[in-house]
A and B are shown apart, each in its own frame.
Chain A
Amino acid sequence: MSATAIPGALLASVAAPADVLAPQRRTMLAFLVWGFSALMIGAMIGPLQALNYGGVNAYPALAPILKSYYQGLTIHGVLNAYIFTFFVTCGLLVYLPARELGLAPNMALWRGCFGAMALGTLMLLVAMFDNSSSVLWTFYPPLKGSAWFYLGMTLVVLGSLMPLPILLDLRARWKARRPGEVTPLVTYMSLTTMLMWALAGGGALIELIVQLNPWALGLTDTIDPIVARTLFWWTGHPIVYFWLMPAYVSWYGLLSKQIGGKLVSDPMARLTFALLLVFSLPVGSHHQFTDPGFSPVWRGILTALTLSVALPSLVTAFTIGLSLEYAGRLRGGLGWLGWFTALPWRDPSVAAQVLAMLTFIFGGAGGIVNGSWELNNIVHNTTWVPGHFHITVGTASALTFMGVTFWMLPHLTGRALLSRRLALAAAWLWFAGMSIFALGMHWAGLHGVPRRAWISMLPRSVYERVYGDAYFALFLVAIGGCILWLATIAFYTVFLGSLGTRRLDRRPAIPFAQAFGGRESYALDGGEPVGIVANQEVSKLARALEHLGLITAFTAFATAAAYVPIFWPFLRNVTAARGWVVW
Chain B
Amino acid sequence: MSETGASSAFEDAFHKSAERHERVWVFVAVAMLTLLLAGTMFIVVYAYGIVVRTDGFRRDPAAVEAPEGSVVKTGPNAYTVTVVARLWRWSPSPLRIPKGATVTFRVTSADVLHGFAIQGTTVNVTAVPGITGSVTYTFNRPGTFNIVCNEYCGLEHQGMLGRIVVAGDPA
Near B by CB (< 8 A), chain A positions 133-161 give: 136, 138, 140, 142-143
Contact A292 B6 (CB under 8 A): no
B166 at interface by CB-CB < 8 Å = no
B165 at interface by CB-CB < 8 Å = no
Using CB atoms, name the residue of chain A closest to B5: A2
A262 at interface by CB-CB < 8 Å = yes
Those 4 A-B pairs whose CB atoms lie nearest each other, nearest first: A292-B133, A575-B130, A582-B154, A573-B57
Using CB atoms, name the residue of chain B closest to A520: B4
Q: Would you give the shortest CB distance from B112 to chain A, in whole angstroms?
A: 5
Contact A311 B33 (CB under 8 A): yes
Near A by CB (< 8 A), chain B positions 22-36 give: 22, 25-26, 29-30, 33, 36
Q: Would you give the shortest CB distance from A193 to chain B, in whole angstroms?
A: 22
A124 at interface by CB-CB < 8 Å = no
Give which listed residue, B6, B30, B117, contacts A3 with CB less than 8 A.
Answer: B6
Q: Measured between alpha carbons, how far is A381 from B116 in the docked complex, in Å?
A: 10
Known: A575-B58, A582-B155. A292 touches B119 (CB 8 A): no
- For B101, the chain A residues whose CB sits under 8 A away are none
Contact B129 A374 (CB under 8 A): no
Near B by CB (< 8 A), chain A positions 259-300 give: 262, 264-265, 268, 288-294, 296, 300
- For A465, the chain B residues whose CB sits under 8 A away are 146
Contact B4 A2 (CB under 8 A): yes
Q: Measured between alpha carbons, how far is A278 from B153 in the docked complex, in Å?
A: 34
Contact A142 B6 (CB under 8 A): no
B124 at interface by CB-CB < 8 Å = yes
- For B6, the chain A residues whose CB sits under 8 A away are 1-3, 514, 520
A304 at interface by CB-CB < 8 Å = yes
- For B87, the chain A residues whose CB sits under 8 A away are 580, 582
Residues of A within 8 A of B (CB): 1-3, 68, 70, 136, 138, 140, 142-143, 224-226, 229, 262, 264-265, 268, 288-294, 296, 300, 303-304, 307-308, 310-311, 314-315, 318-319, 322, 326, 329-330, 368, 372-374, 377-378, 380-382, 447-448, 450-455, 457-458, 462, 465-466, 514, 516-520, 535, 569, 573-577, 580, 582-583
B136 at interface by CB-CB < 8 Å = no
Contact A377 B30 (CB under 8 A): no
Contact A517 B126 (CB under 8 A): no
Using CB atoms, name the residue of chain A closest to B110: A577
Contact B26 A315 (CB under 8 A): yes
CB-defined A-B contacts under 8 Å, sample of 15: A2-B4, A143-B153, A292-B107, A293-B133, A374-B47, A378-B122, A382-B117, A454-B158, A457-B158, A466-B146, A516-B18, A519-B2, A575-B61, A576-B60, A580-B111
Using CB atoms, name the residue of chain A closest to B48: A296
Q: Would you give the shortest CB distance from B120 to chain A, in whole angstroms?
A: 6
Contact B54 A452 (CB under 8 A): no
Contact A577 B61 (CB under 8 A): yes
Contact A517 B1 (CB under 8 A): yes
Using CB atoms, name the residue of chain B closest to A315: B26
- For B11, the chain A residues whose CB sits under 8 A away are 262, 326, 516
Q: Would you give the shortest CB distance from B139 to chain A, in whole angstroms?
A: 15
B104 at interface by CB-CB < 8 Å = no
Contact B43 A381 (CB under 8 A): no
Q: Measured between alpha carbons, how far is A457 from B159 in the docked complex, in Å?
A: 8
B53 at interface by CB-CB < 8 Å = yes
Using CB atoms, name the residue of chain A closest to B87: A582
Q: Would you give the shortest CB distance from B10 to chain A, in whole angstroms?
A: 8
Which residue of B6, B39, B43, B152 has the most chain A CB atoms within 10 A of its CB atom?
B152
Using CB atoms, name the residue of chain B closest to A68: B155
B41 at interface by CB-CB < 8 Å = yes
Q: Measured between alpha carbons, how far is A466 from B147 in the docked complex, in Å?
A: 9
Contact B3 A520 (CB under 8 A): yes
Q: Measured between alpha carbons, how far is A224 from B129 in the docked complex, in Å?
A: 9
Q: Would you give the shortest CB distance from B129 to chain A, in whole angstroms?
A: 5
Contact B158 A381 (CB under 8 A): no
B132 at interface by CB-CB < 8 Å = yes
Contact B130 A382 (CB under 8 A): no
Near A by CB (< 8 A), chain B positions 8-27 give: 8, 10-11, 14-15, 18-19, 21-22, 25-26
Give which listed residue, A3, A311, A575, A583, contacts B129 with CB less than 8 A.
Answer: A575
